[in-house]
Amino acid sequence: MSCRLLGFYAKSRKFVEDLLDALIKASRYDHIAAKVIGSFDKHDDGWGCVLALKNDDYWRVLFYKSVKPIWEEDLSFLKSSLNFKYVAGLIHTRKASRNTPIDTFSAHPFSVVTADGSTLYVIQNGGIKKKESWEVICEEYDFEPDDVSDTFIYTLMLAKYYRQRSGAPPERLAKTLRKLHSFLEVEDLAGRCVNTFILQYSPGDRVSLGVVVAYYNEKYVDYYKVYKVTSNENELAFVSSTVAEVLATKGYTPELVENRKVLVYVFEEEELKEIEYNLE
């Protein structure tokens, strides 16, 4: 799967609109994909988002996905929702892998409820070896793996591994991501890239953002790179390479995120706490 990713924490409408505009432009024409991969130049197999928005006294969660390309959608519903004190979110645009369903179900994010009640929303670029990974969870489910994408199976594996960890939700997520991605590497289940962004929404309206940067094929490294973007208002975003290039034209300064890294950001009021691990 070849996709463009956006994960962010924002305090201003302008930052979100800049990010969204950059993602749409990068998805409608992805010159890095055209140059590095060569078989496509747009992400037109669906899109989706999840936003956790905090007003003065309550949270709202917006979850949406569609098989339509993002640039063909009427995004007025999304833009009209951008009334917030601060917001954390994910947005994903998809180019489906060969022999993978193209439908709204298979658009990202995928969601799963975990053992401690947290809901995890998952978006991904790249993926895992579907048939082999299916063997890890097949005794617990009875759907046909050919009917779903590899990221759907990854999401269920994530919930399984989360159940085996302990701790407060953000730390538990960070430990789970490190353990799961190390397992994928050791068991040769990882594809050429398994870049993964996660929004964690936990009981008590606790919100965290998880980022895994993990890619293994040097031929496509320019396509797989993930960048961190910040603003003068202490906002931050993690974006795919093509999105970073568009943001650079808007005056932002993208910083390359190190490969084989797990990051989790905890949102406590208007403060951010970072949890960082290297893959084992």
Q: What is the pLDDT of residues 104-161, one digit of tens each?
A: 999 999 999 999 999 999 999 999 999 999 999 999 999 999 999 999 999 999 999 9
Rounded CA gap, 280 and 260, in Å? 9
Q: Which of 266, 115, 118 is nearest to 202 (CA)?
A: 118
For the sheet containing 110-113, what is the strand order? Answer: 110-113, 119-128, 190-202, 206-213, 261-268, 271-278
With 90 as the cut, is the pLDDT of residue 270 above it?
no
**Quick one: DSSP state of residue 27?**
H
CA pair distance 21, 25, nearest whole angstrom:
6
Residue 97: is its pLDDT beyond 90?
no
Cα–Cα distance measured from residue 134 to residue 12, given in angstroms and rounded to the nearest whole number: 41
Q: What is the pLDDT of residues 230-269, one digit of tens each?
A: 999 999 999 999 999 999 999 999 999 999 999 999 998 6
Q: Provide, rounded to the nearest whole percent, the portion of the chain with pLDDT above 90.
A: 94
pLDDT band at 191 (very low <50, low <70, confident <90, very high): very high
Q: How many CB atoms lie within 10 A of CB 127?
A: 25
d(CA 187, CA 3): 24
CB 24 within 8 A of CB 73: no
Across the range 77-99, mean pLDDT stands at 95
User: Does the pLDDT at position 217 exceed 90?
Assistant: yes
- In the sheet that 2-10 helps form, which strands lie side by side, from edge to edge? 59-66, 47-54, 86-95, 2-10, 236-240, 226-230, 255-256
The alpha carbon of residue 240 and the mean position of all alpha carbons in its chain are separated, in whole angstroms, by 10
Average pLDDT, the chain: 97
Q: What is the mean pLDDT of residues 178-191?
A: 98
Domain chopping of the chain, boundaries: 2-278
Distance, CA of 256 to chain centre = 17
At residue 57, the pLDDT reads: 87
Peptide bond into 101 cis (omega under 30): no
Q: What is the DSSP string of 91-119?
A: EEEEEPPTT---STTTSSPEEEE-TTS-E
Tokens 């197999």, residue located: 45
Hunting for tokens 């960890």 — which residue is that?
A: 165
| pLDDT at residue 271, rounded to an integer | 82
CATH superfamily of 2-278: Aminohydrolase, N-terminal nucleophile (Ntn) domain (3.60.20.10)
Q: Mean per-residue pLDDT for 25-32?
A: 98
